[in-house]
Structure 1
Amino acid sequence: MAFISVTAASAAAFLLLPAASSAARAGSPLLLQRRPLAGPLRAAQGSSSGAVVMESKVKAKKKKGSGAGNLPGAIDLEIREAQEYLSSDEQEPVPENFPFEILDEEGMSVAILKRDYKDEKIEVIVSMPNLEGGPEFDDEEEEGEGKNSSKDDEDEDEDESAGDSSVSLKVTVSKESGPKLEFTCTAFREEITIDDMLIVENTATEGEEKFPYEGPEFTELPVNVQKGLFKYLEQRGITLPTTNYMHDYMVTKQTKEYVGWMTKLKDFVRQ
C-alpha cells in the first residue's frame, strides 16, 4: 500500500479527535470506559472509567545533566538522541491486505486512513500515542547509577507500559447522501474499545441553533446491538492488525515530528 502525503492546502482538515462521549461533549476529557464483551472489540463502561494514558515503545527516562544551563546544547542532545532512536527503530511491515490508504502530512499530529467499502467512504483519524511532556529517549546514566537495577525489573516495567499503550481513533462512515456514523474508539494491543457512537445528520442551517437527539450512551445499547456494531467496524477494516500497525506507525511519526519541532526551537533561539 503506497503512502500518500497530503498537500499543505488540506492541512486544515486534519483536526485532533473530538471527544465523543456525553461527558466529553460537556467539556470533560475523553474517558476510557471498560466492560468486557466477547471478541477483540468491546464496549466502554462509564462507572469505572479513568483518564486514557497512552504510552509507546519509546522508553521514557529522565535525563541527568543533559546540557544544564545550555539551552542550545540541551536541544542538540534531544535531537541527537531522537535521531539515534529513529536509526535503530525497525518499522513494522505493512500487514497483509492492509485495506487503507495512509495520508500523512509532515508537521501534523494525526494521520488519516481512507478507503472505499461498497457504496461507503471510510475515514479514520488516528492520534499519536500521548506521552506527557513529549517523548524521552534512553540516555547514558551517570557513572555509578543504575547498577543495582536488574534487567528483569526493566523488562517487567517495559511489559507493563506496553500493556497500557493505546491510540485514539475517530472512524467516520459516510455515503453519498444522508447521515454519517461516527465512532470514537481506543485501540490497545489486544483489543479495541468503542467509547461512543453518533449519527451525524446534515441538517445544519446557518443562523439557526439545533439541539438534535444524540441517542443513548453506547453502553446503554442492547448487547446484541453493540456486538453488531463491533462486527460492522471489523468489516470496514477496524481490526487489531490494522490498529497495531498504526500504533507503531504513529510512534515513529511522533519521534520524527519531535525532531522537527526541536529543530525549529533550536533555529529560533540561535537567531
Structure 2
Amino acid sequence: MALVSATASPTSLHLSIASGAVGGAVTCSLPQLWRPLAAPLRAAKGANSTPVVLESKVKGKKKKGSGAGNLAGALDLEIKDAQEYLDSDEQEPAPENFPFEIIDEEGMSVVILKRGYKDEKIEVIVSMPNLEGPPEFDDEDGEGDGENAGKDDEDEEEDDESAGDSSISLKVVVSKDSGPKLEFTCTAFREEITIDDMLIVEKTEVEGEEKFPYEGPEFTELPPNVQKGLFKFLEQRGVTLSATNYMHDYMVTKQTQEYIRWMRKLKDFVKQ
C-alpha cells in the first residue's frame, strides 16, 4: 500500500536527511508555527508514530457448534451467527454535514464516495476494514468447557487486541474537466489518517501508449509545509476523521453482509 523524511507533532516539525549526500544525519526542529488540524492527519511511516487502539464491532471468538464435521450444517450455523450479529448491529447515522454520496453495490468489496467541490470531482474508493482473518461472531452460550475455558479467554483477549489495529484503506481521486488529476492513497485509523502516497496522473493522449513519467518523491520526502498543505487540501474536500470513522463502521457492517451472501452462495452450491 527516502532520503528525506519529515514528521509533525503538535509542538514542532522534524526534518531528517539521511547520511550520504551531505556527509551525515542532520536533524532540525522548527518552533511551533501552526496548530494541529481539526482532523489529525499525518504522513505514513512517521518516525514518532504511536499505536492506535480501536474498537471494532466484530469480535473474534472461536466457535463450537453442531455443524462440526458436516459442511452444510457448519454453513447453516455460520450464516445464523452472522445474521444474528447483523440484526443486532446498530448502524450509526452519517455525521452532520457528511458531504459524500455513497455508492454501495451488492457483492463488491469496495464502496465509492462521490461529491463535487467547486470545479472539482472527488471520488473516494473505500476498501473493506483491515481485520485479522474473516469475521467471527460471538458464541451465544458463552460457556467454556473445563480446562479450555482459560485458554478461550486468552484467545479472545488476543483477538480484541488485534482488532485495535483495524483500519480502512482509501484511494482519493481529485479531478477536473481537463488537465491532470491527483491520486492519494490513505489509511484511516480511528484517531488519525495517514497519507501513504500521492501521484499526479496525466491524461494520456494515445490509449495503450507506454510512458514512464516522473512520479515525484515519496510523500514523506516532501517538505513539512507541503505535507501540511496537502493534509489540509484533503480535509477541505471532505476527508476528515468524522467521515472516515463513519465509513469504518459502515464497512464493518458491509463486510458482514457480504460474508453472509458469500456463505449462502457456497451453501447453495454444495447442496445442489
**TM-score grouping bracket, smaller chain normalisation:** 0.7 to 0.9
What is the deviation of 1:67? 1.5
Q: 1:144 is matched by which residue type in structure 2?
A: G
1:106-121 matches, cutoff 5 A: 106-121=106-121
1:1-271 matches, cutoff 5 A: 19=1, 35-38=7-10, 39=36, 40-45=40-45, 56-65=56-65, 67-139=67-139, 140=141, 141-144=143-146, 148=150, 158=160, 160-203=161-204, 205-271=206-272
- CA distance in 2 between counterparts of 1:61 and 1:36 reads 38
Tell whether the 8 Å contact from 2:102 to 2:113 is kept in structure 1 after alignment. yes
Tell whether the 8 Å contact from 1:179 to 1:200 is kept in structure 2 after alignment. yes
Instruction: State the Cα deviation string for residues 99-146 of structure 1 (Å, max 9, x = none).
Output: 000000010000000000000000000001133431111124443366
What are structure 2's unaligned runs of at least 5 residues?
Answer: 11-35
- CA distance in 1 between counterparts of 2:249 and 2:93 reads 10
Q: 2:67 is matched by which residue type in structure 1?
A: G
- Alignment CA distance shift 1:234-1:204 (3 Å): same
What is the deviation of 1:78? 0.6
Q: 2:265 is matched by which residue type in structure 1?
A: K
- CA distance in 2 between counterparts of 1:263 and 1:150 reads 28
- CA distance in 1 between counterparts of 2:265 and 2:205 reads 40
Q: 1:74 is matched by which residue type in structure 2?
A: A
Q: Tell me which stretches of 4 or more aligned residues in structure 1 moved more than 6 Å.
A: 46-49, 149-157
With structure 1 as the length reference, what TM-score do the two structures score? 0.78
With structure 2 as the length reference, what TM-score do the two structures score? 0.78
What are structure 1's unaligned runs of at least 5 residues?
Answer: 1-18, 23-32
- CA distance in 2 between counterparts of 1:150 and 1:71 reads 24
Instruction: Describe the SS at the equivalent of 2:195.
Output: strand
Tell whether the 8 Å contact from 2:65 to 2:77 is kept in structure 1 after alignment. no
Tell whether the 8 Å contact from 1:184 to 1:197 is kept in structure 2 after alignment. yes
Tell whether the 8 Å contact from 1:37 to 1:43 is kept in structure 2 after alignment. no
Tell whether the 8 Å contact from 1:110 to 1:126 is kept in structure 2 after alignment. yes
Tell whether the 8 Å contact from 2:42 to 2:195 is kept in structure 1 after alignment. yes
- Alignment CA distance shift 1:263-1:55 (3 Å): farther
Tell whether the 8 Å contact from 2:219 to 2:227 is kept in structure 1 after alignment. yes
- CA distance in 1 between counterparts of 2:127 and 2:205 reads 27
What is the deviation of 1:46? 7.5
Q: How many residues align?
A: 236
How many percent identity over aligned positions?
78
- CA distance in 2 between counterparts of 1:155 and 1:34 reads 35
- Alignment CA distance shift 1:131-1:177 (3 Å): same
Q: 1:192 is matched by which residue type in structure 2?
A: I
- Alignment CA distance shift 1:145-1:265 (3 Å): farther
Tell whether the 8 Å contact from 2:132 to 2:162 is kept in structure 1 after alignment. no
- Alignment CA distance shift 1:255-1:195 (3 Å): same
Which of these two proteins has the greater Rg computed from alpha carbons?
A: 2
Q: 1:104 is matched by which residue type in structure 2?
A: D
Taking only aligned residues, the RMSD between alpha carbons, in angstroms, comes to 3.0
What is the deviation of 1:147? 5.1
Tell whether the 8 Å contact from 2:61 to 2:155 is kept in structure 1 after alignment. no
